Amino acid sequence: MPTFYEFFAGGGMARAGLGNTWNCSFANDFDEMKGRAYQQNWGSEDLVIGDIANIDVSQLPGCADLSWASSPCQDLSLAGNGNGIGTPDNETKTRSGTFWHFWSLMTNLASENRAPKIVVLENVTGAITSNKGSDFTAIATAFASLNYKFGAIVIDAQLFVPQSRKRLFVIGIREDIVIPKELATSYFNGLWHPENLVASYKKLPSAIKQNWVWWHIPYPEKREKNFIDIIEDEPIGVTWHTPEETQALLKLMSPVNLAKVKNAMFSGQKTVGGIYRRTRKDKYGKSQQRAEVRFDQVSGCLRTPGGGSSRQIILLVEGNQVRSRLLSPREGARLMGLPDTYQLPIKYNDAYHLVGDGVAVPVVHYLSKKIFERILAHNTTSNPYTERTINSQISYERAS
């Protein structure tokens, strides 16, 4: 059974995506609330709650097949402050700079001949262009510095779940591990490699490009569920707005958005739309609050509840009846691909924060089946690097 480390683990959504054919040997997250949720669903044996800066390489057992990191994105997202990931020397100035603490652990593992076979960094797509691409170059340089063959892909979770959620996945393969020919191509493709990613790749130094891989995986089958399919008739943790509150939302809509609501009413079908409050400027340059709705069978991207505007509201339309309320925690979990058996925090904000800050479970599962497991199955254990690793692991276990 392949083993993995899970950094910035949150509620263990990467673990959920990998499934029970993988064995977690170490997990870490700084947030105590998320840690409690992780323990509630996965147990406490493998989890260390605390700052990654305080994790020592000796706490990481053996040589993992996979090291997964969903590092903080606050300084890389459009809604963030744009400070980026910083550098190894000033990483503490940004939350996203905790990437360097993670990479320090990977570097120390490599020095002990315990480098993971596969290393994955997941983050928002803003990491591609933040600081004019210098953050992406820094990440690429880090992978290349440990001689990992690596490449990046962008996956929108709406291919699997009814939520618009694009994320960047940088996937690195240890230098001695053979990548099956069908998993890599000599050129990019539009499905997994958007224009900004290709542009950032072209800016990489030539020496770094030599380690680059254009990942090639098939297009997934059609998504099974739409937004309406995950909505609860009797939600837990939220209540329906009063008619007056719903009307107040409608009054915040522009003519374009009101037209969307009317079209949904005229369709005669029960349909659901996702609403976010936005601050927009009118034709005179004055800022005003707007409510914007989408009826394209997917929700907007879930976010952490930093303020009222980040909580997604749903608008349920059935003929002339229009109702509104907050998205429930369970609905949010379903939008992330979590099963209903997954136990959520009791408090609304905690549950919404947990799921909104995670990685979509089916995306992890797809990457595991289409890339990780195929690479591991393709490679044998009889090579010099692995023999050194096994000897190192034996020495490590004896020392422990």
Q: Determine contact, residues 8/28, Cβ cutoff 8 Å.
A: yes
Query: What local confidence, expressed as pLDDT, does residue 381 receive?
Result: 52
Q: Which of 24, 63, 73, 301 is catalytic?
A: 73
Distances (CA, A) of 364 to 18, 64, 124, 205, 372: 6, 17, 15, 30, 10
pLDDT band at 21 (very low <50, low <70, confident <90, very high): very high
Query: What local confidence, expressed as pLDDT, does residue 85 receive?
Result: 62
Q: Determine contact, residues 328/352, Cβ cutoff 8 Å.
A: no
Q: Determine contact, residues 25/9, Cβ cutoff 8 Å.
A: no
Token pair listed for 142? 């880090």
User: What percentage of residues in the chain have a pLDDT greater than 70?
Assistant: 87
Mean pLDDT of 4-10: 97
Query: What local confidence, expressed as pLDDT, does residue 279 receive?
Result: 81
| pLDDT exceeds 50 at position 206 | yes
Q: Determine contact, residues 99/91, Cβ cutoff 8 Å.
A: yes
pLDDT band at 11 (very low <50, low <70, confident <90, very high): very high
**Residue for token pair 């996945």:** 169
Query: What local confidence, expressed as pLDDT, does residue 73 receive?
Result: 54
| DSSP per-residue letters across 309-374 | GGS-EEEEEETTEEEEEEPPHHHHHHHTT--TTSPPPSSHHHHHHHHHTS--HHHHHHHIIIIIHH
- Cα separation of 70 and 201, whole Å? 21
Please indicate whether residue 386 or residue 147 has the higher confidence score (pLDDT).
Answer: 147
Provide the mean pLDDT of the chain: 89
Mean pLDDT of 194-205: 97
Query: What local confidence, expressed as pLDDT, does residue 83 receive?
Result: 57
Q: Determine contact, residues 18/12, Cβ cutoff 8 Å.
A: no
Which sign, positive or negative, has the C-alpha torsion 373, 379, 383, 385?
Answer: negative
CA angle 326, 350, 49 (to 5 degrees): 160
Query: What local confidence, expressed as pLDDT, does residue 87 receive?
Result: 62
Q: Determine contact, residues 276/294, Cβ cutoff 8 Å.
A: no
Mean pLDDT of 121-150: 95
Task: Give the domains, in start order, of the chain with CATH numbers.
Answer: 3-221+359-399 (3.40.50.150), 227-356 (no CATH)
Which sign, positive or negative, has the C-alpha torsion 193, 197, 201, 202?
Answer: positive
pLDDT band at 282 (very low <50, low <70, confident <90, very high): confident
pLDDT tens for each residue of 221-254: 999 999 999 999 899 999 999 999 999 999 999 9
73 is catalytic: yes
User: What percentage of residues in the chain have a pLDDT greater than 90?
Assistant: 80
| pLDDT exceeds 80 at position 386 | no
What global pTM score does this model have? Answer: 0.90
| pLDDT exceeds 70 at position 272 | yes
Query: What local confidence, expressed as pLDDT, does residue 211 receive?
Result: 97
Query: What local confidence, expressed as pLDDT, does residue 398 receive?
Result: 33
Give the highest mean pLDDT range of 76-85, 88-97, 234-243: 234-243
Please indicate whether residue 316 or residue 394 has the higher confidence score (pLDDT).
Answer: 316
| pLDDT exceeds 80 at position 77 | no
